[in-house]
Amino acid sequence: MSDTPVINKCTPLPWQMNQWQRLFEAKKDNRLPHALLLTGSAGLGKSHFAHLLAASLLCNSLQETDTPCGVCKGCRLVDADTHPDYTLITPEEPGKAIKIDTIRQFTQRGSLTSQSGGFKVIIIEPADALNTAAANSLLKTLEEPVDRTVMILVSASAGKLPATIRSRCQQYHFTPPTATTAVAWLNEHVNDSDPSLLLSLASGAPLLALKYATEGALAERTKMIEELTGIFKKTDNPISIALRWSQLDQGSVVKWFSGWVIDLIRVKIGSESAAIINIDQRERLHALSRKVNSKKLYALMDRLFEANRTLGAQLNTQMQLESLLLDWADIGVE
């Protein structure tokens, strides 16, 4: 595991240039939207972009194409999250809702006006965490925009937002960069991992790939694949593996486990060159695919999709994992 690499906060990421240019033009023409909605899957740098825009609106010494300088008082206060005209609204705890009191606190008429006569910037992230009451409260604010106040909503699941909110925001959508761009960028930020594998596991999202590299996710995934292989060969005990897995982050457990099962299905029904995400495990997947029962594989995949919703949220995580791994142990039996 290496230290978290530093990403330059003062420029758009290489695959965000079009969106930045669009904003720059809008600002130049005095058409800067009052509300923006940044969408696209996780790991594409939407937060980075939101922060960059906030800093550029509050920077006292703008650079070319309106990027922030990173060193002036405005930039430093935004960076420290203490700028009086900058507010970042997030759930109190990750995964929890953003409540109406929080929205009211920051969107009351008086608090929407800049203290310094410049811009006021509010970032709401993730915006899909707004509960119904909070969303309704925000909607009122969006319906009566305040001059020079910019709201930036960030969401990887924009479909969960009420249509009334979406329609009042100008949408900026982010898509994964080309493999060449992503690999080049990743190579600048990680040194001891395989960028192609990381990107494949991250569905092409560079920041997610970077997160995997710095959090030791690759090693954890490889260990889980070894354990699944061991259970299949009856050299590992599903019950003790379930106990170990129950101590891990359940989101990752389901992601790697279901990714493995989906790859196996793809290889079983596809050709030699079937598109898989565990690209370093192609041989093992092919060997295994000849020994597993398709029907049971599909049934397990359904159970894993269901587990994606419930695992970790219930008290019996370990029992659920035991049940899933016992199904896996049985996957080869006709």
Whole-angstrom distance, CA of residue 290 vs CA of residue 297: 12
DSSP for 114-162 reads -SSSS-EEEEETTGGGB-HHHHHHHHHHHHSPPTTEEEEEEES-GGGS-
Pick the closer one to Zn ion by CB: 57 or 161: 57
Toward Zn ion, which CB reaches closer, 150 or 202? 150
Task: Decide: is 274 part of the binding site for Zn ion (CB under 5 A).
Answer: no
Question: x/- site string to Zn ion, residues 221 to 250, per CB under 5 A?
Answer: ------------------------------
Handedness of CA 124, 128, 130, 136 (dihedral sign): positive
Q: How far apart are the C-alpha atoms of 213 and 252, rounded to whole Å? A: 14
Query: Whose Cβ is closer to Zn ion: residue 79's or residue 194's?
Result: 79
Q: Considering the complex, state which of residue 75 and residue 183 has its C-beta at the smaller distance from Zn ion.
A: 75
CB 61, min distance to Zn ion, A: 5
Place of tokens 């565990």: 278
Do the strands 35-39 and 170-173 form a parallel or antiparallel pair, or are they unpaired? parallel
Compute the least distance from the CB of residue 58 to Zn ion, in Å. Answer: 8
Nearer to Zn ion, 77 or 100 (CB): 77
Determine the size of the site formed for Zn ion (CB under 5 A): 6
Cβ closest to Zn ion, residue 60 vs residue 247: 60
Site for Zn ion in 43-72 (CB under 5 A): 59, 61, 68-69, 72
- Closer to Zn ion by Cβ: residue 150 or 207: 150
Q: Kindly provide the b/e burial profile for residues 30-46, where b requires at least 16 CB atoms within 10 angstroms of the residue's own CB.
A: eebbbbbbbbbbbbbbb
Q: How far apart are CA 59 and CA 118, in angstroms?
A: 10
Determine contact, residues 119/53, Cβ cutoff 8 Å. no
Shortest distance, position 265 Cβ to Zn ion, whole Å: 51
In the chain, count of helices (H) and strands (E)? Answer: 15, 5
Toward Zn ion, which CB reaches closer, 75 or 292? 75
CA distance linking residue 25 with residue 139, whole number of Å:
27
C-alpha distances (whole Å) from 123 to each of 87, 137, 195, 242 are: 6, 15, 31, 40
In whole angstroms, how close is the CB of 56 to Zn ion at the nearest point? Answer: 8
Closest approach, Cβ 52 to Zn ion, in A, equals: 11
Instruction: Give me the least distance between CB of 71 and Zn ion, in Å please.
Output: 6
Task: Give the per-residue contact string, 71-110, with Zn ion (x = CB under 5 A; - = no).
Answer: -x--x-----------------------------------
Q: How far is the CB of 125 from Zn ion (least distance, A)?
A: 22
CA distance 254 to 249: 9
- Minimum distance between the CB of residue 62 and Zn ion, rounded to whole angstroms? 7
Phi, psi of 119 (to 5 degrees): -85, 160
Residues that bind Zn ion (CB under 5 A): 59, 61, 68-69, 72, 75
